[in-house]
Amino acid sequence: MDRLTQAADSGRDDSAEFDADDAAVPIRVVIADDDALARRVVRDALQDAGLTVIAEAVNGREAIELARYYRPDVVVMDAIMPGIGGLEATQAITAGSSTIKVVVLTSSDDEELGLMSLRSGAVGFVSKSVALSALPRAVASAHRGEAVVSRRLTMRLVDAVRSAGRDGSGVRPVRSPLTSREWEVLDLMCDGGSTDDIADALVLSPETVRSHVKNILRKLGVGSRSDAIHEARRMRSAIVVGHLTAGGVSA
């Protein structure tokens, strides 16, 4: 039994630890989780702290539809749900709006899942094992445009930047119009891979690779593979320079 469920069963009110200043301006939230008890616990924690839960979704498809209809400030998204999962829904929501923030809430502490969540467009990755008092703070932080990740996951992100070259090789923007598969194709293009090379590496047909390349060019607004490679390097260099300038990476 996770901490959220334990807190619900014990009737404990951890939300009292939430700083009331964070809720001075009502924050509108959509909750997406296929577990009814988890939705209730999250809803009660947020509402008790002064946040406004405007809708609840039981799967990713509903989350996308509710986000488009209500335009919430934050979506608290379960990572694993039947049908359209939380990460796919996160990608669809953030691709359609630059103002809606998504915090992925999951029973897993897997850092790889955390990285996947961020690549899907989420600004936060929170385990269901955290105390209830952390949820309103996490949502408020996301609403302010802050990242909501654990220290361990932050260290993974720092290590990823450290291991990348100054040109950003291997780095992918957290927010990007490209899907994970399209980035895989673009990575191989940057390495000089031909259509057949990419098809062999990703176990795809050449026709599928060409379709991915076409989508990449369209989404990046460029007219050739070389232009796409140049744009990818520009995006990556901007990330690395940003981290170095901010002091996020030690020499």
Q: Which residues contact 229 (CB under 8 A, 6 or more apart)?
A: 186, 189, 190
Q: Is 104 exposed, middle or buried (0-12, 13-18, 19+ CB in 10 A)?
A: buried
- Residue 237's pLDDT is what? 61
**Alpha-carbon gap, residue 75 to 159, rounded angstroms:** 28
pLDDT reported for residue 143: 94
Here the tokens at position 201 are: 């590496």
* pLDDT score, position 175: 59
The pLDDT assigned to 130 comes to 80
Measured between its terminal Cα atoms, the distance across the chain in Å is 43
The CA distance from 65 to 69, in Å, is 6
pLDDT for res 238: 53
Cα separation, 56 vs 196, whole angstroms? 45
Q: Mind giving me the DSSP string for the chain?
A: --HHHHHHHHT--GGGGS-GGGGSS--EEEEE-S-HHHHHHHHHHHHHTT-EEEEEESSHHHHHHHHHHH--SEEEEES--SSS-HHHHHHHHHHH-SS-EEEEEES---HHHHHHHHHTT-SEEEETTS-TTHHHHHHHHHHTT--B--HHHHHHHHHHHHHS-TT-TT---SS-SS-HHHHHHHHHHHTT--HHHHHHHHT--HHHHHHHHHHHHHHHT-SSHHHHHHHHHHHHHHHHHHHHHHT-S--
Looking at residue 9, its pLDDT comes to 44
What pLDDT is attached to residue 110? 73
Q: What is the pLDDT of residue 246?
A: 38
| pTM as predicted | 0.60
Q: In tens digits, what is the pLDDT along the chain, a chain of 251 residues?
A: 355 544 444 444 444 344 545 445 689 999 999 999 999 999 999 999 999 999 999 999 999 999 999 999 999 999 989 889 999 999 999 988 889 999 998 887 777 788 888 888 899 999 887 878 889 999 999 999 888 887 777 776 666 656 554 444 455 565 568 887 888 899 899 888 999 999 998 888 999 999 999 999 999 999 999 999 988 877 766 544 444 333 333 32
What single letter denotes the amino acid at residue 47? Q
Domains assigned to the chain: 3-152 (3.40.50.2300), 164-246 (1.10.10.10)
Residue 28: predicted pLDDT: 97
How far CA 194 is from CA of 185, 190, 209, 210, in Å, comes to: 10, 10, 10, 10
Task: Look at the chain and count its residues.
Answer: 251
47: its two tokens:
């509402």
